């Protein structure tokens, strides 16, 4: 454990690869233990449940949503022809790779990279425990 978080790797069949993972037992809920901490085993169990739901189809839908929202945001204020926007969308879809997953009790962050398109940046996708995309943000790596 580093910084009260468990760090390691996790095999995710939908990615065909193992990725870095962080399991965060901290909580801001008042309903948890008196010290605001959740048992790390609970987070690991929640992570296993989430990964089990993350089928190839579910992951493809997340990638599609992320690529679509990022591309729409990039071209929303420009006069780009449809062919260029479609090519950019396809390129982003195929470039997105999961670099790591940060788990907590009620969801996860999928941290994507697309180094050929977003140099030195990460696309951070917040998922709830039902794999719904709650938020997408782009940060410097």
pLDDT for res 28: 58
Q: For 4-28, what is the mean pLDDT?
A: 87
| Assigned domain for 88 exists | yes
Residue 65, Cα to own-chain centre: how many angstroms?
A: 12
35: pLDDT strictly greater than 70: no
pLDDT above 90 covers a percentage of the chain that reads: 62
Could you tell me the pTM of the whole model? 0.86
The pLDDT tens digits of the residues spanning 86-138 come to 899 999 999 999 999 999 988 899 999 999 999 999 999 999 988 999 999 99
- Model confidence at 44: pLDDT above 70: yes
Say how far apart CA 54 and CA 3 lie, in whole Å: 27
The answer to whether residue 1 is domain-embedded is: no
Count of structural domains within the chain: 1
What is the model's pLDDT at position 32? 46
Alpha-carbon span 53 to 73, nearest angstrom: 28
Residue 29 banded pLDDT, cuts 50, 70, 90: low
Residue 119, domain extent: 6-140
Q: 34 vs 25, which has greater pLDDT?
A: 25
Residue 69's nearest CA partner among 101, 112, 100, 108 is 112
pLDDT value of position 30 = 44
Q: Is residue 92 part of a domain?
A: yes
Looking at the chain, the whole-number percentage of residues with pLDDT higher than 70 is 90
Distance between CA 7 and CA 102 in Å, rounded?
9
Closest CA to 39 of 81, 1, 85: 1
Beta bridge partners of 9: 20
């Amino acid at each position: 454990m580093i910084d009260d978080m468990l760090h390691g790797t996790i095999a995710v069949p939908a990615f065909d690869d193992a990725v870095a993972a962080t399991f965060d037992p901290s909580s801001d809920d008042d309903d948890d233990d008196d010290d605001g901490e959740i048992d790390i085993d609970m987070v690991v169990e929640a992570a296993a449940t989430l990964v089990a739901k993350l089928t190839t189809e579910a992951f493809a839908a997340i990638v599609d949503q992320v690529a679509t929202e990022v591309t729409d945001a990039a071209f929303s204020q420009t006069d780009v022809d449809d062919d260029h926007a479609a090519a950019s969308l396809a390129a982003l879809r195929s470039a997105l790779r999961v670099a790591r997953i940060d788990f907590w009790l009620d969801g996860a962050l999928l941290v994507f990279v697309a180094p050929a398109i977003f140099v030195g940046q990460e696309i951070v996708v917040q998922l709830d425990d039902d794999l719904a995309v709650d938020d997408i943000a782009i940060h410097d790596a």
